[in-house]
Structure 1
Amino acid sequence: MELSSFDFLKQQDLPAGALYMVATPIGNMGDITLRALHVLNSVDGIACEDTRHSASLLQHFGIHKKCVALHEHNEIAGAQNIIQHLSQNERWAYISDAGTPGVSDPGARLVNAVQKAGFRIIPVPGASAVSSVISASGSVMLSSEGRFQFLGFWPNKAKERGALIQDMRSSSKTSIFFESPHQIRDTLITLSKELEPKRQVLVGRELTKKFEQLVTLSAADIPKWLEKAESLKGEFVILVAGRQTSSDKAPEYSALLLWANALSPHLGSKEIAAVLSQALGITKKEAYQVALDAKDQNEGQ
């Protein structure tokens, strides 16, 4: 069925003088959205992280538009070029090499410059390695009640790696980061040594592609898995489960109430719950109940 047969797309509002941040597939061409194709066919020009890389995508879908390169090395200068086009009431799109622009890809400086120049930014959502791996993470996300922190690409410098590992060890949120095939073995070995043996780690490889792999391991089992791993090629997304507070280590209710009472004159119940949950590793539900109890206690005095 041809794209033109989808009448609802013709009803989409496409304001002029706007920049469209368009998500593209991270591996499987079928993950392009109908809206993305409609926008890319409708704009006056497309800024690309790499015009050579994007050419195959655009050619595959029969999209023939003026393309300019806009990457991390020319993003500020490239943004001024886009702003000039927008000032002429044109529509422009930006696409990165894969996935959603601005997620560990260029795009943030471009958006900032365009917004400051007074022009509208319109996101066109689609594929993202982060949201894709979360949807298939199961138990690794359960303990954090859906909360996570995205760390981008794993750093090369030892000092920065040490700081992130310490953050992951102490955080109750699931940690998510990208890693290259060249460093993945060393990174996983480091996690196996630095994390508690039972801490869960999800390894996602080549998401949406032919050799996609999703494996959930305990930190202690990582070395054994690496010995048998058939391949460590491709792009990796790693999830590290948040720190769990076992019942025998959880703070006593009386201690929690002391914390909540100290915060009560200065914060609302939701804010108190957020502080207790983050600082003491208890669930939001437990923390909120303690906050309510503290408020009731103070109002009764």
Structure 2
Amino acid sequence: MEFDRFDFLKQQDLPAEALYLVATPIGNLGDITLRALHVLNAVEGIACEDTRHSVALLQQFGIHKKCLALHEHNEMSGAQTVIQHLANHERWAYISDAGTPGVSDPGARLVQAVHAAGFRVIPIPGASAVAAAVSVGGSVLSASEGRFQFLGFWPNKTKERDALLMLIQKSLQTSIFFESPHHIQETLIRISQTLEPERELMIGRELTKKFEQVSFVRAADIPQWLAQASSLKGEFVIMVSGRKVGKDLVSDDLLSLWVDTLKPYLGSKEIAAVLAQTLSVSKKEAYQAAIDSKVEGAKK
């Protein structure tokens, strides 16, 4: 692919002795970035989670490079091979099967080893299933004011699933996780049986692909949604809204005590941020309590 007319790509240095973490599409090849293609063309070699998958992707864009398999079962030994290439003044890239390396994909231990060896690691951002889901989360995110926790792939073991469900049930933040088509029905039914009926979910299926589907459903309505779903095939990204909070869970006296304790040291916005994280109150309610306290103090 010809990049000569994209002068802006040449404005950033591509230092040698560096590892480039390159994000690749999660389904739609059109989501590859110009910078990703520029870097993949410039490096001496590419470490891949699955060379068979990655070679097919690279060939789509006319990129022919030396490829090295580096996956969860050989990540540390593969990292040493990459480090040897960097020591020879080479540039190398790492790509996972889809999306951003290190996000529920191999890559974190590779980055750690490269850093420990004294070489630079440079992120080349792009497609991410987490970012795609968050961007269309809407009401599922608004209750937690955009804050979320990413939980990776839903675990297979019952004990781990139960622990994760408890974490989601208690969390004030939106929770995001991945699930396979083989277990999606069982997982959603379990969520509907565990969470409060009004908790809202966003169910994203095959994001960026031809049969992409984004659905919003209450926990109580999950069985009906499953019964009417046109397909449960493909990869899923699930978002679960955080536990609703309200001042009714915290007495006025307790809220006032916290505000009075903090206001000599913090402004109203800082107090609101602290109390939203500490007590079962929203940031808006905590901020109003801080403002009210200042007004009362001025009257005295």
Q: Output the TM-score relative to the length of structure 2.
A: 0.92
- The percentage of counterpart residues that share the same residue type is 67
Q: How does 1:60-139 map to 2 (within 5 A)?
A: 60-139=60-139
Match of 1:155 in 2: 155
Which whole-Å CA distance do the structure 2 matches of 1:183 and 1:201 have between them?
17
Letter in 2 for 1:280: L
1:190 and 1:263 map into 2 onto residues whose CA distance is 41
> Partner of 2:251 in structure 1?
252
**What's the counterpart of residue 189 of structure 1?**
189
Residue 30 of structure 1 is matched in structure 2 by: 30
Alignment partner, residue 179 of structure 2: 179
Q: Which moved more, 1:194-203 or 1:279-288?
A: 279-288
Matching residue's letter, 1:108: A
How far apart are the structure 2 equivalents of 1:295 and 1:77?
A: 60
Q: How does 1:186-265 map to 2 (within 5 A)?
A: 186-246=186-246, 249-261=248-260
In 2: Cα distance, 1:84 partner to 1:292 partner? 59
Is the Cα contact below 8 Å between 1:261 and 1:295 reproduced in 2?
no
Question: Hey, what's the Cα distance between the residues in 2 that align with 1:294 and 1:85?
Answer: 62
| Cα 1:292/1:88, change in 2 over 3 Å | farther
Shift in Å at residue 287 of structure 1? 3.0
Report the more deviating stretch, 142-151 or 7-16.
7-16
CA distance in 2, matches of 1:276, 1:213: 37
How far the C-alpha of 1:274 sits from its partner, in A, is 4.0
**Bigger Cα displacement from structure 2, 171-180 vs 282-291:** 282-291
Aligned to 1:168: 168
Amino acid at match of 1:121: V
Aligned to 1:287: 286
Q: TM-score, normalised by structure 1?
A: 0.92
CA RMSD of aligned residues (A): 2.4
Runs of 5+ unmatched residues, structure 2:
none
Equivalenced residue count is 299
User: What is the letter of the counterpart of residue 255 of structure 2?
Assistant: L
The 1:268–1:69 alpha-carbon spacing in structure 2 relative to 1, beyond 3 Å, is: farther
Give the residue type in structure 1 aligned to 2:128: S
Q: Shift in Å at residue 260 of structure 1?
A: 4.1
- 3-state secondary structure, aligned to 1:15: coil
1:121 CA displacement:
0.8
Deviation at 1:3, TM superposition (A): 3.0
AA in 2 matched with 1:95: I
1:46 maps to: 46
Q: 3-state DSSP class of the match of 1:83?
A: helix
Give the match's secondary structure for 2:4.
Answer: helix
Contiguous gaps of at least 5 residues in structure 1: none
Q: CA offset at residue 262 of structure 1?
A: 5.2
**AA in 1 matched with 2:126:** G
- Residue of structure 1 equivalent to 2:276: 277
C-alpha distance in 2 between matches for 1:102 and 1:67: 19
